[in-house]
Structure 1
Amino acid sequence: MKRFIDTLKNIFSIEELRTRILNTLLFITIFRLGSFVVLPGIEPDRMNFSAQGLLGLLDTFLGGAFSKASIFALGIMPYISASIAIQLLTMALPYFQKMQKEGESGRKKLNQITRVLTIIVTFAQGITYLKTTVPDEALLVSRSIFTVSSVFILIAGTMFCMWLGERITDKGVGNGISMLIMIGIVSRFPGAIYQEFASRGSSQILIFVLELVALYFVIMGAVMLTQAVRRVPIQYAKQVVGNRAIGGGQRQYLPLKVNAAGVMPIIFAQALMFVPSLVASLFAETSDFASNVATIFATYTTWQYNVLFGVLIIVFTFFYTAISVNPQQIADDMKRGGGFIPGIKPGQQTSDYISTVLDRITFPGAIMLAIVAILPALASLVGMTSSFAQFFGGTSLLIMVGVVLDTLQQIESYLLMRRYEGLMKSGRIKGRTESIAV
C-alpha cells in the first residue's frame, strides 16, 4: 500500500503528467455529460430500444448514448468505420499506399480524407438510426423536421467526439479515440455489478463473490492474450564507418504478437452474425427449417450461434493478421538495417520464416480470441445477468484491457524519464502500440 501511495505522489509531482491527467479527466467529463443530452424534438421515455446483437454492442461502446437518442448517439463509431475503410484502402490501392509513404504531408492528406468520409458515414448512419430506432410516438415534431435537424446534430456530435479524442491524444494520457470507447464501456460496469448483486440477493452472496473472482481471472487471461509475443532473435552485423566498427554483435528481438489482430476479428464477426437470422426470417413463413434457423441465430446463447461466431473469429483473425503484418516489408527493413535472423538468409528466406512463425502463433491466438468472445454467452447460461455477463469477455473486455495497458505504459514512461520507479516491480508494462524493433 505504501508503494502504491508513493507511486501516486510521484505521478502528481510531475507537472506535465499531472496536467495531462487533469486534461484527460476534463475531456472525459465533457464526453459523458454530452451522452445525456437528448436530441431536440423527442420524448426519451417513449423510446422502445431493444439492446440486441450489433445494436446492443454499439450501445455498450457508447455508454448508453445510443439507446438514449443522445446528441452523441453515434459517438466516435463513424470515425472508427471510416478509419478502418481508409486502412483497408491503404493496403489495397497504390494511390493510398503512395500517400502513406509521403511522410507528414501524406498523413495529413489521409487524415483529411478520413474526416470527410466520417461525415459521409455519419450522414448515412444517422438517417438509418433515426428511421429504425426512434418510433413515431416518441416524436414531438414532424418526422421530416426531426430527421433533417437531428442528422446535422448527429454529424456535429460525432465530429465533436472526434475532436475530443484528438485533444486527449495531444494534451492528455493514452489514445483518445480508444479512451472514449473504453469510458463508454466502463460507465456501465457499476450498474452491471449492482444488477448482478440484486439478482443474487443476500442468500447467494457467496456465488456473487465467486463470480467476481472468476471475472478477475478472466481479466488476467485477457491481459496475457494482449501481451503475449513470440520473440524472434535478430543479429546485427558490424558496420564500418571510417576506421571505426560500430554496431557489432548487437542482438535484438522481433516481437510477433500472438494476437496481432486485436479486437477487429470479433467486431467483423459480430457484424456478420445478424445475417443468418435476417436471411432465414425472409423465408420463415414458408419453411419450418428457416423459422428454426431464425430463432436459433437470434439468440447469442445457442451453441450453433457460438460455433459459427467462433469460426468467423478464427477466419477473420488470419485475414486481419495477413493484411496488417507484412513479413516481406519486415524482412526488407531488417536487410536495409544490417539485421538478420541467425541461421536464416536475408531477403525472401527471412520473409518465409516470419510468415511460418506468424501462422504457427496466429492459430492458438485465434482459438484463445474465440474463447474470450464466447465467454459472455457461457456466463449468461450459468445464470448471470446479461449486462454483467458482457464484461466476461468479447470486445468490451479486450478494449478495456488494451486501453488500460496503453495508458499505464505512457504513465510509466513519464516516471522512468524522471528517474522514478515504474508502476511494476517485475518489469515494464507493455501496451498494444509497442513498435517492432528492427
Structure 2
Amino acid sequence: MKKFIQNLKNIWSIDELRDKIILTLLLLLVFRVGSYIVLPGIDPKGLAGLSQNASKGMLGIFDSFAGGAFSNASIFALGIMPYISASIFMQLVSILVPQFQKIQKEGESGRKKINQWTRYLTAIVTLFQGGAYVAYLKSPQIAGGAIYPSFAFFFPFTTVILLTAGTLFVMWLGEKITDKGLGNGTSIIIMVGIMARFPASMAQEFASKQTRGGGGLLIFLIEIALLILTIMALIVLVQGTRKIAVNYAKQIIGNRQFGGARQFLPLKVNSSGVMPIIFAQAIMFIPGLLSNFQPTAGIARIFNDHGNIWYMLIYSILVIAFTFLYTALIFNPKQVADDLKRNNGFVPGVKPGQPTADYIGTIMDRITFPGAIFLAIVGILPGIARNLNVTAGFSTFYGGTSLLIEVAVILDTLQMVETHLLMRQYDGLMKTGRIQGRTTATTTGATGVF
C-alpha cells in the first residue's frame, strides 16, 4: 500500500504526465456525457424495446463499444465503430495493395495520407450506418413509438447528420487523447465504454445471487476469483513473446566500432490481437440474421444461443482459422529477414535471406497455434459462464472482445505511465520488472487494439 501511494505521488509530481492524465479524463468525461444525450425527436421513455434488442448478438458488442450510447439512441450512438471499420479496411488495403504499401513506407508523410483517407472513409461509413440506424429505430418493435409524430418527417435527415457529426467528434476526441493525452485514444474510448457497464453488471449479478440465500454470496465470490484468474491468464496471452536471438556483424568506421551486439527479435504469441474474435463474431452473426427472414428452428437455436455447444465449437474453429489468416496478413517473415540482412543482422546457425525467413515463419506458426487455441477459449468463455447461470451482462466480462480489449489497453496505459516515471529516475510501478504492453513486443507496426 505504501508503494502504491508513493507511485501516485511520483505520478502527480511530473507536470507533463499530470497534464496528460487530466486532459484524458476531461475528454473521456465529455464522451460519457454525450452518450446520454438523446437524439432530437425521440422520447427516452419509449426506448425499452431498443435497450432489449441492442443487448443481443453483434448489436450487443456494438452497444458495448459505444458505452451504451447505441441503446440510449444518443448522438454518439455509432460511437467510434465507423472509424474502427475504416481503420481496419485501410490496414488491410495497406497490406494487400502494393501502391498503398509504398505510401505507408514513406514515413510520416505516408502515415498522414493514410490517416486522412481513413477520416474520409469514416465519414462515408458513418453516413451509411446512420441510415441503417434510422431504419432500425423506425421499426415498430424497436423504437418506432418513441419518435414524436410531429418530427417524423425531419427525423431521418437530422439523425443521420447528428450521428455523423457525433462519430467525427468522438474520432477527434480519440486523436486528441493520442496526441495530447495518454495515447491510444481510440482504444481508451472503447475501454471506457466497456468498463462503464461493469458496475451495473456486477450489481445485477450480486442481486441475482442474493436471491439464492446464504450460498449465493459464496458463489459470487467464487465468480470474482475466477474473473481475476481469467484476467491474469489474458495478461500472459497479451504479453507472451518468443525471443529469437539475433547477432549483428561488427563494422569499423574510422576509429569506432559499430554493431557486434546480440539482440532479440520478439515474436508475439498473439500478434493478431482481438481481430480474429471480431471476424468470427461477424461471421456467426450472419446465419442468425438470415434465420430471421427464413425461419429455421435448428439454425436459429444454434447461432442465436452463445451457450450452445455447436455454436461454441464452430466459433472456436473460426477464431483459430482467422488467427492464422490475420497473422499471415500482418506478419511477413520475408520482410523481417530482408530487414535483418540489410542491417547486417543474422540468426545464429541460419543462413541470411530465404532460410532466415523460413526459420522465422516456422517459429511463428508454432507459437501462433497455442495462441489461437487460447484465444478461442477466451472467445467462448462468456458462453460457458452463461451456462453456469451467470447473468448475461456480467458473463461478457469473462472473456471475448470486451475483456481482451480492457486488458490490452490497461497494460499499454500503465506502460506509458511507467516510462514517464523511469525517464525521471523514479522507480517503476512494479518491483518485479517493467510492465510490458503490446507495443514492446511488436514487429509489424500494428500496435493498436485492432
The two structures share one fold, judged by TM-score above 0.5: yes
Instruction: Render the CA deviation track for 1:306-326: whole Å, top value 9, x for unaligned.
Output: 111111100110011011111
Picking from 177, 181, 206, the partner of 1:197 is: 206
SS of equivalent residue, structure 2 residue 439: coil
Task: Tell me by how many angstroms 1:283 deviates.
Answer: 4.0
Aligned match for 1:236, one of 235, 238, 248: 248
Q: Which residue of 1 aligns with 2:366?
A: 360
The amino acid across from 2:156 in the alignment is: T
Answering whether residue 160 of structure 2 is matched by residue 148 of structure 1, we say no
Alignment of 1:28-427 (within 5 A): 28-47=28-47, 48-49=49-50, 50=53, 51-134=55-138, 135-140=143-148, 141-201=150-210, 203=214, 204-248=216-260, 250-284=261-295, 290-427=296-433
CA distance in 1, matches of 2:294, 2:205: 38
- 1:435 Cα offset (Å): 5.1
The alpha-carbon deviation at position 127 of structure 1 amounts to 0.6
Whether the 8 Å contact between 2:41 and 2:152 is mirrored in structure 1 is no
Residue 287 of structure 1 aligns with which residue? none
SS of alignment partner, residue 440 of structure 2: coil
Work out the percentage of aligned pairs sharing the same amino acid.
55
Structure 1 residue 437, shift from structure 2 partner: 7.3
Contact preservation (8 Å) 1:227, 1:431: yes
- Residue 280 of structure 1 deviates from its aligned partner by 4.0
| TM norm structure 1 | 0.96
Moved more, 211-220 or 165-174: 165-174
Please give the alpha-carbon distance, in whole angstroms, between the structure 2 residues aligned to 1:244 and 1:214. 56
Counterpart-to-counterpart distance in 2, 1:7 and 1:279 = 53
1:131-180 CA-to-partner distances (Å, cap 9, x unmatched) read: 11343211114434101001000010001001100111111113100000
Distance 1:217 1:370 in 2: 17
> What is the letter of the counterpart of residue 11 of structure 1?
I
| Structure 1: 5+ residue stretches without partners | 285-289
Matched to 1:7, the amino acid is: N
Note the residue ranges of structure 2 that are not aligned, 5 or more in a row.
445-450
The range that moved more, 214-223 or 270-279, is 270-279
1:242 shift after superposition = 2.1
**Shift, 1:259, TM fit:** 0.4
Cα deviation code 1:269-302 (max 9, x no counterpart): 1111122223344443xxxxx3222222111110
Q: Alpha-carbon deviations, 1:359-380, whole Å to 9, x = none?
A: 1010110000000010011111
CA distance in 1, matches of 2:346, 2:442: 14
8 Å contact 1:174–1:403 — kept in the other structure? no
What's the secondary structure of 2:262's corresponding residue? Answer: strand
The yes-or-no answer on 1:22 pairing with 2:31 is no
Change (3 A) 1:377 1:437: closer
Q: CA deviation at 1:111?
A: 1.1
Q: Which amino acid aligns with 1:138?
A: A
Aligned position for 1:430: 436
- Root mean square deviation, CA, Å: 1.3
1:315-363 deviation digits (Å, cap 9, x = unpaired): 1100110111111111111111111111011111111111101110101
Give the Cα separation in 1 of the matches to 2:280 and 2:137.
Answer: 23
CA contact (8 A) 2:268 2:441 kept: no
Q: Is the 8 A contact 1:281 1:291 kept in 2?
A: no
Paired residues of 2:41 and 2:155 also in contact (CA < 8 A): yes
| Cα distance in 1 for residues equivalent to 2:119 and 2:258 | 45
C-alpha distance in 1 between matches for 2:333 and 2:302: 41
Q: Do the aligned partners of 1:254 and 1:436 also contact (CA within 8 Å) in 2?
A: no
Asked whether the equivalents of residues 136 and 143 of structure 1 are also in contact (C-alpha less than 8 Å), the reply is: no
Q: How many residues align?
A: 432
